[in-house]
Amino acid sequence: MKNVAIFASGSGTNAENIARYFSKSETVKVAVVLSNNKNVGVHARVNNLGIPSFVFSREEFVEGTPVLAKLAEYQADLIVLAGFMNKISDALLKAYPGKIINIHPALLPKHGGKGMYGMHVHEAVVAAGDKESGITIHYINENYDEGDIIFQAKCDIVPGDTPETLATKVHALEYEHFPRVIKDVLDNL
Ligand code: GAR
């Protein structure tokens, strides 16, 4: 059995979708969810599926040690960032080389970097007048949104699209592709 640890900061619809996808798997388990915020939807979503969740402060994520201890406790093989808004510590990068992946709600290398998360990304894409957007699943390295790209999928932006309608399209791509790509990454670990 390979264990996945999901890091999430918000509503957690991707975390729930990933957890449901693997809920009957005999080879992959979403073992634990870690968050920097106790007041967000991800906890109820995954706790309802029997998955424990824990909260660490920004400082603890940056320092790394308590987070590493929790990951060791749940024997994490892969860390999946699903709407996680903190920077990943050097300690974590060292402990999980090539084993931390993120989903970004746009087509990197466009519209990435510090401060580009969630609706901010969709607002920037619409403001730029882009004709398409999508998702990028990529490895994490020491710079925001610059790790090697594993997978991208695109959607069209049509006249009348707003950041909100674009977010809905991008979320649909996330739900369709992210769990399958996680499985591929795990198969190649
Ligand atoms: C997702 O769209 C994800 O791509 C994005 O946050 C959203 C989380 O939604 N991540 C980033 O912007 C990272 N830079 P969710 O909490 O409903 O899964």
- Mean pLDDT, each 10-residue run in order, the chain (189 residues): 97 98 97 97 98 95 93 98 91 95 97 92 98 97 86 97 98 98 97
Tell me the pTM. Answer: 0.97
Q: How far is CA 151 from the centre of its chain?
A: 13
Contacts of the segment 88-94: beta carbons below 8 A, 24+ positions apart: 88/61, 88/140, 89/61, 89/62, 89/63, 89/64, 90/64, 90/142, 91/63, 91/64, 91/65, 92/64, 92/67, 92/68, 93/140, 93/141, 93/142
What pLDDT, on a 0 to 100 scale, did the predictor assign at position 106? 98
The pLDDT tens digits of the residues spanning 116-171 come to: 999 999 999 999 999 999 999 999 988 777 899 999 999 999 999 999 999 999 99
Q: How far is the CA of 87 from the centre of ligand 1 (A)?
A: 14
104 carries an active-site annotation: yes
Q: How far is the CA of 10 from the centre of ligand 1 (A)?
A: 8
What pLDDT, on a 0 to 100 scale, did the predictor assign at position 31? 98
Q: Is 10 in the pocket of ligand 1 (CB under 6 A)?
A: yes
Q: Is 82 in the pocket of ligand 1 (CB under 6 A)?
A: yes
The active-site residue out of 43, 104, 122, 138 is 104
Q: Which residue has the tokens 């640890």?
A: 5
What pLDDT, on a 0 to 100 scale, did the predictor assign at position 146? 84
| Residue with CA nearest ligand 1 atom 5 | 83
What pLDDT, on a 0 to 100 scale, did the predictor assign at position 114? 85
What pLDDT, on a 0 to 100 scale, did the predictor assign at position 163? 98
The mean pLDDT value of the chain amounts to 96
Pairwise CA distance, residues 138 & 129, whole Å? 24
Q: How far is the CA of 15 from the centre of ligand 1 (A)?
A: 10
